Amino acid sequence: MRRWFALSAIGRDRPGIVADLAELIYEADCNLEDSSMTILGSEFAVLLLLSGEGDEVERRLSSGCKRLEWEKRLTVFFRPLDGDASARSDTGAGRMECSVTGVDKAGIVARVARTLAEHGVNITALQTQSRPGAESGTPMFTMRVAIDVPLDLDRRALAERLERVAAELRVDLTLTERQRDA
């Protein structure tokens, strides 16, 4: 019976981390089903969806994760998932993107995320970045949020509420339709 696992790892960025993780997956006789990887500051972070079969798969993953923690100084965590996690089901939601730009300040992500949650909107991906402005050096913040919006939600009401939040934060915010994943 196929079993599914989520695995996350973080460690100081260096060449070979992806190879180390891929070898762990291979040696545990698992398949890499989906992944998201990034560098945050000086740290490399990864979230993986794995599948494997057999009674020993969880033990092999556990042993491999402990070895990577010890030998490669990665912090690795995995957990079994319930059911078949191979494909995200169609939620019956409209896919949109929310983009925010402005002077960096505390609370931008919290306010936008809370507004989305209050409207039953699911965040499926979020990227943020703060960089010094070209001329002034003032920290400028950008955020891109991929969202699934319930089909029965009044999009105009959502947009108006997000615009009010943006005005309070003094940032620019746009809400646009996204193409469905192929």
Q: What is the DSSP string of 124-169?
A: EEEEEEEEE-TTT--EEEEEEEEEEEETTS-HHHHHHHHHHHHHHH
102: left (phi over 0), alpha (psi -120 to 50) or beta: left
Dihedral sign computed on CA atoms, order 109, 110, 111, 112: positive
The set of residues, in sequence order, having a beta carbon less than 8 Å from that of 83 and lying 6+ positions away, is 4
Q: Which domains are seen in the chain, by residue range? A: 2-81 (3.30.70.260), 93-177 (3.30.70.260)
> CA dist 51 to 28, 46, 90, 180, Å?
10, 16, 21, 25
Claim: this prediction has a pTM higher than 0.85: no
State the amino acid at position 160 in one-letter form: E
The pLDDT assigned to 87 comes to 58
Q: Which portions of the chain are predicted below pLDDT 50?
A: 182
The pLDDT assigned to 84 comes to 73
The number of beta carbons lying within 10 Å of the beta carbon of residue 59 is 11
The set of residues, in sequence order, having a beta carbon less than 8 Å from that of 45 and lying 6+ positions away, is 8, 9, 10, 37, 38, 39
| E strand map for 54-121 | 75-81, 93-103
The pLDDT assigned to 182 comes to 42
Q: How far apart are CA 132 and CA 137, in angstroms?
A: 4
